[in-house]
Amino acid sequence: MIDEGVRETDELLAEAEASILFTAKRPPVVMERGKGMYVWDTDGNRYLDFIGGWAVTCLGHSPDVLKDALERQASQLVNVSPAFYNKPMIELASLLTKISGFDRVFFGSSGAEANESAIKLARKYGAIRKGGAYEIITATNSFHGRTLAMMSATGKAQWQQLFAPKLPGFLHVPLNDWEAMSQAIGPGTCAVMLEPVQGEGGVHAVDADYLAQLRKKCDDEGILLIFDEIQTGIGRTGTMFAFEHFGIRPDILTLAKGIGGGFPLSAMLTKEELNLFEPGDQGGTYTGQPLAMAAGLAVVGEVIRLNLPEYAAVQGDYLISGLRSMQTKYKLEHIRGKGLLLAFDLPEPKGAELVADCMKEGLLIDSPSPRTIRLMPALNVSKAHIDEMLGIFGRVMDRLWG
């Protein structure tokens, strides 16, 4: 007799192959449900999730606080024109300004949208306060999103010719190279945009001294400093915002991923003196949508209530300690990161093979490049989950490199 679950999965995969536009190489499984640190596919296989939707599911899968907030708001008001205020919009904006120290918030649905908003605001600033300056400097190996503008801003070498011509006005310099940055800054520069910790680029942090120099240079030249905290914000690196590690405050801050705990939500925050948009300059159909605002309120509120930034710092140290205990045996290199945004390099470019083998053993991890493994579990991951992850990882490494 044919197993009904297998038949259902095969049928679903065939339908996916026939109807979904190809944009990614996906394994032949169909995810069906999730709870806490685990997800299950349609065949009933369970996976310990250390990808977390690329640092999205900060409270784990299907947390009650998010489910309850969505159910409650859905029964009241799902959507209303962004031409009107709504109560959860006001409440979430107030909460984010309170915990961040910024004055104004613009809401979107994706990280790319938040970063586009930051770019627009910087160019508006350049147009009216810096004689038309519009150039924005970003870092080599950075990642800022997949819209055409954000692909132009992103410092990925393999994207340089993709979808040409690119949007003009972006310059890329190596991260932490002060000479390159100081030479790139000129009369046409309106902003510098950086990830405090590059996530997609392999978890590489900005040097504190470099950032201090950059903040001073921006202040001296009247240039805006933008921090893309799409991946690092809301507790991911062991503080509520990654900029807190450096004692440096940007002029514009962008957030997404963990801010909604899995619900599509992003935000751009800035200071009152940059409240420059006129009606029609910026907007969006789902800007400040009540359902998304309720999700953000629930998720950020729970991160605060449980003090998850501090908890993530402790759990991150525990995970790093476990990886270091394996470092010599498996020849792991450059174990790095902050909080629960961690990475390490493999002795050989077998990242894809390791990811696939770990998945067969019930563990989800990420390989952003052939030799690099990135770990982004939920902020409330337990030591028992970390031990389970390290156990599976060790067994797979024994087979690959034993």
Residues recognised as catalytic = 143, 228, 257
Q: For residue 78, how many other CB atoms are within 10 A of its CB?
A: 13
Give the amino acid at 335: I
Using CA atoms, how far residue 98 sits from 66, 95, 104, 268, in Å, is: 21, 5, 10, 14
Tokens 């104004």 correspond to 104
Alpha-carbon distance of 191 to 228, in angstroms, equals 12
Q: Are 377 and 363 in contact (CB under 8 A)?
A: no
Using CA atoms, how far residue 167 sits from 164, 187, 192, 268, 272, in Å, is: 8, 19, 16, 21, 28
What's the gap between Cα 265 and its chain centre? 12
Q: Are 264 and 108 in contact (CB under 8 A)?
A: no
Kindly provide the b/e burial profile for residues 280-318, where b requires at least 16 CB atoms within 10 angstroms of the residue's own CB: eebeeebbbbbbbbbbbbbbbebbbeeebbebbbebbeb
Closest CA to 192 of 168, 167, 175: 175
One-character DSSP codes across 28-89: S--EEEEEBTEEEETT--EEEESSHHHHT-TT-BS-HHHHHHHHHHHTT-S---TTS--HHH
Tokens 């080599």 correspond to 140
Tokens at residue 341, please? 């945004």
Alpha-carbon distance of 315 to 338, in angstroms, equals 10
Tokens at residue 208, please? 């504190």
Closest CA to 379 of 322, 341, 344: 341
